[in-house]
Amino acid sequence: MKKRSIVPYGPQHPVLPEPIHLDLVIEDEKIVEAIPSVGFIHRGLENLVQKRDFNQMAYVAERVCGICSFGHGFGYCEAIEDIMDIEVPDRAKYLRTIWFELSRMHSHFLWLGLLADGFGFENLFYQCWRIREKILDVLELTTGGRVIFSVNKVGGVMKDITPEMAGAILDMLASVKKELKAIVPAFTQDYSVKSRLVGVGVLTKQQAHDLGCAGPFARASGIQTDMRKLGYAAYGDLDFDVITSNDGDSYARCVVRINEIFQSISIIEQAIEKMPDGELAAVVKGNPQGESFIRIEQPRGEAIYYVSANGSPHLDRMRVRTPTFANLAGLCETLKGADYADVGLLILTIDPCISCTER
């Protein structure tokens, strides 16, 4: 039998922007098993429902994660609105869709940059983050915040997108589309980049299904899963397809996410065109009573919000199941048999968001 050794990986590691610890059991240079241990960012945020009332919790829910912040605030508000039977005005639904897709775009650009950094292409990393800043500028113009927006509230949204702002968004989308098209060949056709991505960390469709993977990670393995097709917010009125790939390797995950950026651009353009006039928020009276279960599509995959209310301003329980939690099992599967040198890259390909996972 070959000699086995255990290499600790993290929590502080140059490749990882966030702390996660993996115990890698290796045989020569090959990974036999990866054992994750989490809890470095656990804050106990869900417990705050007992100390803050349900309106204040919308701000806390946003801070589950700074990258997918809009989605978390949105999911929480959807759950409360579902309990209280609040009909959100159409304009608010469209505004939420636009901001959601903008945050998906900035998240995917962030991921593309980190991936480029992961395989050592620093120039490409900078290019992605430079383009990402344009999206953040537009988000700041429309919401007032760069990463934490605080525009969602129970019943609707707090801010409006004026025609000038809509024009700025469309201009930004046109320039981002052009610049993204220029850097896509570096990801998809470059010989060195392909050698790091093609065939690395393959996850078959069956494995992805059995392990319950979510989001672009599962879609890259050929699973047709996209919660936006449930038609929440304004997604029911907009035209888009679920982007999948059948290869299941790191290259497929990269291509799926690049195509999703183009898809987001098209969704925002449609939403701005179709956006109706009207109120921004419905009036909220009383306290919620009952429970609700909401599924939405975050940039990283399917997120589930469970809220249980008892008729007082303080909720009984809030629970968030985040996509990275679902994908960690898939990550450990892809790490088996991988080279030690690919570990950092493979961790990045699931687009880990540890803050979401541990809350």
Partner 1 sequence: MFEIKRSPWVLHYDGSSCNGCDIEVLACLTPVYDAERFGIINTGDPMQADILLITGGINSQNAPVVKQLYDQMPRPKVVCAVGVCACTGGIFKDCYNILGGADTVIPVDIYVPGCAARPQAIIDGIVKAVDLFEKRLEEHKQWVAEHENREKTDKSAAAKQPQKAQQPAGETAKAQSQNSAQRRSKNAKGRKTAKRRKK
Question: What residues line the site for partner 1 (CB under 8 A)?
Answer: 11-15, 17-19, 39-45, 47-48, 51, 59-60, 63-67, 69, 110, 126, 129-130, 132-133, 136, 145-148, 353, 355
Residue whose CB is less far from partner 1, 9 or 232: 9
| Closest separation in Å from C-beta 125 to partner 1 | 8
Q: Six-digit token pair at 101?
A: 């897709």
Strand, coil or helix: 191: helix
| Closest separation in Å from C-beta 314 to partner 1 | 13
| Closest separation in Å from C-beta 16 to partner 1 | 9
Helix (H) or strand (E) holding 291: strand 289-298
Residue (of 255, 237, 134, 127) closest to 182 by Cα position: 127
Residue whose CB is less far from partner 1, 65 or 169: 65
| Closest separation in Å from C-beta 233 to partner 1 | 23
| Closest separation in Å from C-beta 67 to partner 1 | 5
Query: How many whole angstroms separate alpha carbon 239 and alpha carbon 263?
Result: 10
Residue (of 95, 264, 256) closest to 172 by Cα position: 264
Cβ contacts of residue 56 below 8 Å, gap of 6+?
none
Q: What is the DSSP code (8-state) at residue 28?
A: T
Q: Six-digit token pair at 208?
A: 């992805």
The residue with tokens 């940059």 is: 113
| Closest separation in Å from C-beta 317 to partner 1 | 15
| DSSP-assigned beta bridge partners for residue 37 | 21
Residue whose CB is less far from partner 1, 93 or 257: 257
Residue whose CB is less far from partner 1, 44 or 163: 44
Residue whose CB is less far from partner 1, 48 or 168: 48
Residue whose CB is less far from partner 1, 31 or 116: 116
Half-sphere exposure of 130 (CA within 13 A, CB side): 10
